[in-house]
């Protein structure tokens, strides 16, 4: 993986080398192995390199074709680059390196921008064609790698991370109110928006074409979760096909010129990836796991069980993190959009540990979204049964009884699940699927804001933003939920934390479950092979891994990769929370009802309610505002 930046002026003004260098060096953590630049008149590319394929200087970027008319700055990996290279060489193309990035240049020469359809990988890149002065910005199909841009009347900027764009002089730092409203609902930023009013994300499966001041957005790939009834396969044939596709995806993604391993949580997904790696490699698989002192948050024993079963070279440790103000700032500086998903903390420490041994890892991310691994899918069918109970009893008896349950500080506690379920169950199925992941609901947010900011938001709701994703699905409820989570939740939350946490330590993370050929195959499979009998999650993966992994792992409930922030807020983080979210600091931002927030904090610290998700969301945002809006990020660079 690498870091990429670029500037294109819409007039004849030359790109300033010092500014391009400053932008590029903001991404040193993404590429510690070197940097390169291409500047010609009003176009400039920057590149920070992390060596994974072709470690020689021939792989240094930006790269060009033989006559220097086509240039690329590339972040990611093209897994099928060798087969594409063989085709291109037979057609007369001459290569000067063995990199996957150079393959894109020659593929573009041969097939134009339609070459994107041939690429299998995770990537974000800029390609410039000097012949017609056209710049292309491209992001991979599932949104594994990030790509941001800013367009003014006079120039166009792009980068792997927002902080590089902010390094350009006078880029405005204004908050996008709509995106902020969405952030407080979900704890993450909703593409194509960012929290900066004029900075946007290239959407997954899209490319931008920039020419003569125009910016045209195009889609080159999409997937629809619709069961293919015309494809006559038995269940066994579907399962055999899935086994083959997943094996092939792992095989493609273990191509590397540097040492690599796998994140092993002890769950089914990462354990399955480790199994396939073991059977495809001639050497022992390196596996990496971390745990925490709090018992309900520690899964090291399960990871160690899998490591013994697969005879891996296993590395694990219990993390006793020093979660102080400096650490929070470090996490925010790397996440920057920001994300308040607390699982970024263990991902950060896991990446740090893995980087001491390897330069690349595989992870099990993406399986839950494409294979129906979340409890929210079961909750839909449970909701249907629950609504047979008369509404009067549900609202006036059951809900009131559950609302008075005492708060528990355990990981994903029963009281939290019950309270969330019964509130969501009263909504439509689409709103319920959305609500079951909400941090601040719409009513809660109206209490959170002061009167002026609430008027700015008006009648807009975050569900308004996500609802079109359900509309596009237009199919069975399960497939609609899977499609929404794959296209919305996955790239905006799960993949953001993996990319930012791993790249904070210059570690490349690959995701075999999101191989687009595997995703396309799974999308058309019968629903019963994903969520069997309405309640058996990830049925096909469990069936395929039967007798390959320990029974305990196959039967294990999904727990998530969370940390005990609820306990931390009552203990080691208490003083920082009280200081950061003080009335004085909140009033400086000018959007909050400070009395309401103080009440939330008081009730949580006293153990009356668990408001840890809400307090963490606020803590991350206020620190983000101080770093990126109030003072500028340069003083916090790490």
* Residue-wise pLDDT tens digits, 244-286: 999 999 999 998 888 899 999 989 999 999 999 999 998 999 9
Task: Tell me the residue length of the chain.
Answer: 638
Report the run of H or E that residue 606 belongs to, with start and end: none
Report the run of H or E that residue 73 belongs to, with start and end: strand 70-78
**Rounded Cα–Cα distance for residues 81 and 99 (Å):** 8
Measured in Å, how far apart are the chain's first and last C-alpha atoms? 19
Q: Is 44 helix (H, G, I), strand (E, B) or coil?
A: strand
Domains of the chain, start order: 3-219 (3.60.20.10), 235-372+491-555 (3.40.50.620), 564-638 (no CATH)
Asked if 491 and 477 touch (Cβ cutoff 8 Å), the reply is no
Detail the DSSP E strand segments found in 167-276: 199-201, 206-211, 214-219, 260-263
DSSP assignments along 279-338, one per residue: HH-SSPPEEEEEEESSGGG--HHHHHHHHHHHT-EEEEEEE-----HHHHHHHHHHH-S-
pTM of the model: 0.94
Across the range 210-234, mean pLDDT stands at 88
Backbone angles phi, psi at 93, to 5 degrees: -75, 140
DSSP state of 258: S
Report the run of H or E that residue 554 belongs to, with start and end: helix 551-555
* Residue-wise pLDDT tens digits, 150-208: 999 999 999 999 999 999 999 999 999 999 999 999 999 999 999 999 999 999 999 99
For the record, the structure tokens of 632 come out as 């500028």
Q: What is the pLDDT of residue 322?
A: 73
* Residue-wise pLDDT tens digits, 40-58: 999 999 999 887 766 767 7
* Residue-wise pLDDT tens digits, 478-505: 999 999 999 999 999 999 999 999 999 9
Detail the DSSP E strand segments found in 49-131: 63-64, 70-78, 121-129
Confidence of residue 25 (pLDDT cuts 50, 70, 90): very high
Asked if 190 and 178 touch (Cβ cutoff 8 Å), the reply is no
Burial of 635 (0-12, 13-18, 19+ CB in 10 A): exposed
């Amino acid at each position: 993986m690498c870091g990429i930046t670029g500037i294109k002026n819409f007039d004849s003004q030359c790109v300033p080398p010092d500014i391009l260098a400053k932008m590029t060096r903001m991404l040193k953590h993404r590429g510690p192995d070197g940097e390169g630049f291409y500047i010609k008149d009003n176009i400039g590319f920057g590149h920070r390199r992390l060596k994974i394929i072709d470690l020689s200087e021939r792989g240094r970027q930006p790269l060009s074709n033989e006559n220097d008319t086509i240039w690329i700055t590339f972040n990611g990996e093209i897994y099928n680059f060798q087969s594409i290279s063989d085709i291109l060489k037979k057609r007369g193309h001459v290569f000067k390196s063995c990199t996957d990035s150079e393959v894109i240049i020659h593929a573009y020469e041969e097939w134009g921008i339609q070459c994107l359809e041939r690429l299998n990988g995770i990537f974000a890149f800029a390609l410039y064609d000097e012949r017609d002065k056209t710049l292309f910005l491209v992001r991979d199909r599932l949104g594994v790698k990030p790509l941001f841009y800013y367009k003014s009347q006079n120039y166009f900027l792009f980068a792997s991370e927002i902080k590089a764009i902010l390094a350009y002089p006078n880029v405005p730092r204004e908050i996008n109110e709509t995106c902020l409203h969405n952030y407080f609902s979900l704890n993450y930023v909703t593409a194509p928006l960012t929290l900066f009013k004029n900075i946007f994300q290239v959407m997954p499966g899209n490319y931008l074409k920039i020419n003569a001041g125009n910016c045209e957005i195009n889609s080159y790939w999409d997937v629809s979760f619709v069961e293919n009834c015309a494809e006559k396969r038995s269940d066994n044939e579907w399962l055999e096909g899935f086994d083959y596709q997943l094996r092939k995806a792992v095989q493609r993604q273990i191509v590397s010129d540097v040492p690599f391993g796998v994140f092993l949580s002890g769950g089914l997904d990462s354990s399955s990836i480790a199994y396939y790696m073991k059977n495809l490699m001639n050497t022992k698989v390196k596996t990496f796991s971390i745990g925490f002192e709090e018992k309900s948050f520690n899964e090291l024993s399960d990871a160690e069980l899998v490591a013994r079963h697969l005879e891996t070279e296993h590395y694990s440790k219990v993390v006793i993190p020093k979660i102080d103000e400096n650490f929070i700032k470090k996490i925010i500086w790397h996440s920057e959009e920001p994300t308040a998903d607390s699982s970024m903390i263990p991902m950060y420490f896991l990446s740090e540990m893995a980087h001491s041994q390897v330069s690349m890892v595989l992870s099990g991310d993406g399986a839950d979204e494409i294979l129906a691994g979340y409890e929210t899918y079961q909750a839909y069918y449970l909701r249907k049964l629950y609504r047979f109970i008369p509404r009067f009893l549900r609202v006036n008896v059951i809900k009131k009884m559950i609302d008075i349950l005492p708060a528990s500080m355990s990981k994903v506690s029963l009281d939290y699940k019950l309270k969330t379920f019964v509130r969501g169950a009263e909504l439509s199925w689409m709103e319920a699927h959305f609500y079951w992941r909400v941090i601040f609901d719409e009513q809660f947010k109206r209490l959170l804001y002061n009167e002026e900011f609430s008027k700015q938001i008006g009648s807009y709701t975050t569900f308004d933003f996500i609802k079109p994703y359900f509309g596009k699905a237009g199919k069975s409820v399960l497939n609609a939920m899977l499609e929404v989570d794959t296209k919305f939740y996955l790239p905006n939350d799960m993949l953001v934390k993996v990319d930012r946490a791993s790249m904070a330590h210059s570690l490349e993370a690959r995701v075999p479950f999101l191989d687009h050929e595997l995703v396309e195959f799974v999308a058309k499979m019968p629903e019963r092979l994903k969520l069997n009998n309405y309640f058996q999650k990830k049925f096909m993966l469990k069936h395929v891994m039967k007798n390959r992994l320990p029974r305990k792992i196959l039967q294990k409930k999904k727990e998530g990769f969370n940390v005990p922030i609820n306990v931390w807020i009552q203990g080691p983080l208490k003083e920082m929370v009280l200081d950061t979210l003080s009335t004085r600091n909140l009033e400086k931002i000018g959007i909050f009802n400070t009395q309401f927030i103080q009440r939330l904090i008081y009730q949580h610290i006293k153990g009356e309610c668990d408001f840890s998700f809400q307090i963490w969301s606020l803590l991350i945002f206020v620190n983000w505002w101080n770093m990126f809006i109030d003072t500028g990020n340069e003083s916090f660079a790490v």
